[in-house]
Amino acid sequence: MIIKTKVFDLCNGRYHNLSDLAKAMGLSVSQVYRVREGKRNINQKFIIGAKKAFPSCQLDELFYLDSDQPSSDMIETNVTSRYNHIVQRFTTIDS
């Protein structure tokens, strides 16, 4: 199962371009571009950055799991339950 993002759909109106979005996420423009183009997988930094850029959104509003990808582990299909511990750990450090 691969994690996919809705961040690029949500950024219209809030962020004018990838540079603005990357700055809000605390990432390089090239990293955000590569994720958008499918050349790079979503990692912990991207998840945390998305939560910083969209603090009022739940993880399930920002990400989804692509069930078309083969996987032997179908236990956790909810993004929040699977990745919330990462966001919690890093957002409490920033506070």
- For the domain covering 2-94, report its CATH number: 1.10.260
C-beta neighbour count of 12 within 10 angstroms? 8
Q: Tell me: pLDDT of 47 over 60.
A: yes
Average pLDDT, the chain: 84
Q: Tell me: pLDDT of 7 over 90.
A: yes
Model confidence pLDDT, tens digit, residues 54-86:
999 999 999 998 877 555 554 455 666 666 776
pLDDT, residue 2, reads 86
Residue where the block lists tokens 């090239």: 30
Residues in Cβ contact with 52 at an 8 Å cutoff, skipping those fewer than 6 apart: 24, 25, 26, 91
| Stretch 14-43: mean pLDDT | 96
| Stretch 34-59: mean pLDDT | 95
Predicted TM-score (pTM) of the model is 0.72
Domain range list for the chain: 2-94
